[in-house]
């Protein structure tokens, strides 16, 4: 009879070890009733975005481009990385309220249009330290461009919304763009 238990021992040990492994690791998922933050406010932000490509202190730099980009009228494929200031007024020396950190790439073969992938990082007032993620299409020759706000952090957790961009001024390649951002959070 005793002989029958011997082959079972390793199996029993394995089961015991597995049981420990399961109880000691944290749950892969936990779902609870959603009683925390629910979006219930709408915040409207108004600021100017300064995309400075040329001059002494550029805030947007070209990091990649496919061969032939310079001869493409829409710079198709060019990749720019930016840490652009956001200010209260159109003057670049007006009070800075945040930064637009991310990248934009030329992704339309026919017209000048960018895919924008940005974190808007706020550094002033009640939203200091909070961010929103903006991702969308920016056909820069259009009067008004609309891009989705797809999320946020800090005061903007669970954010959804949209941004409207209007070119205020263009000096060479450097643009001042007026932004109205509506955030539900
Ligand atoms: C294309 O233009 C950029 C920026 O003006 C320059 O740095 C680069 O050398 C040019 N590339 C070619 C292949 O001419
Ligand atoms: C924003 O927050 C940072 C980090 O907490 C702090 O150092 C800075 O002084 C704050 N800025 C303003 C304008 O309140």
**CB of 96 shorter than 6 A to ligand 2:** no
Indicate the class that CATH gives domain 42-184: mainly beta
CA dist., res. 52 & res. 61, Å (int): 9
Residue 70 Cα, ligand 1 centroid: separation in angstroms?
6
pLDDT of residue 21: 56
- 108 by Cβ neighbours in 10 Å (0-12 / 13-18 / 19+) ranks as middle
pLDDT of residue 127: 98
Say which residues have a Cβ less than 8 Å from residue 157's Cβ, sequence separation at least 6: 37, 185
Domain residue extents for the chain: 42-184
74: number of Cβ within 10 Å: 16
- 142 by Cβ neighbours in 10 Å (0-12 / 13-18 / 19+) ranks as middle
Residue 125 Cα, ligand 2 centroid: separation in angstroms?
9
| H-state helical runs in the chain | 2-5, 8-24
Which residue's alpha carbon is nearest to atom 5 within ligand 2? 129
pLDDT of residue 6: 55
Which residue's alpha carbon is nearest to atom 13 within ligand 2? 124
3-class secondary-structure state, position 43 = strand
Residuewise pLDDT in 10s, the chain (185 residues): 445 555 666 666 665 555 555 556 889 998 888 777 778 899 999 999 999 999 999 999 999 999 988 888 999 999 999 999 999 999 999 999 999 999 999 999 999 999 999 999 999 999 999 999 999 999 999 999 999 999 999 999 999 999 999 999 999 999 999 999 999 99
pLDDT of residue 1: 43
Q: Which ligand is nearest to the CA of 63?
A: 1
In 3D space, the residue among 183, 177, 112, 103 whose CA is nearest the CA of residue 151 turns out to be 183
């Amino acid at each position: 009879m005793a002989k029958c238990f011997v082959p079972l021992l390793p199996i029993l040990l394995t089961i015991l070890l597995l049981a420990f492994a399961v109880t000691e690791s944290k749950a892969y998922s936990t779902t609870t009733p959603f009683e925390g933050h629910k979006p219930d406010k709408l915040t409207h932000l108004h600021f100017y975005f300064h995309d400075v490509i040329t001059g002494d202190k550029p805030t947007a730099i070209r990091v990649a481009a496919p061969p032939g980009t310079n001869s493409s009228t829409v710079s198709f494929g060019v990749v720019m990385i930016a840490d652009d200031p956001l200010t209260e007024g159109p003057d670049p020396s007006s009070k800075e309220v945040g930064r637009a950190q991310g990248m934009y790439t030329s992704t339309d073969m026919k017209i000048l249009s960018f895919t924008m992938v940005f974190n808007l990082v706020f550094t002033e007032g009640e939203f200091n330290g909070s961010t929103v993620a903006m991702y969308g299409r920016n056909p820069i020759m259009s009067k008004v461009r609309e891009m989705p706000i797809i999320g946020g952090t800090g005061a903007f957790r669970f954010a959804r919304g949209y941004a409207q961009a209007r070119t205020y001024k263009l000096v060479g390649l450097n643009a001042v763009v007026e932004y109205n951002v509506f955030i539900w959070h």
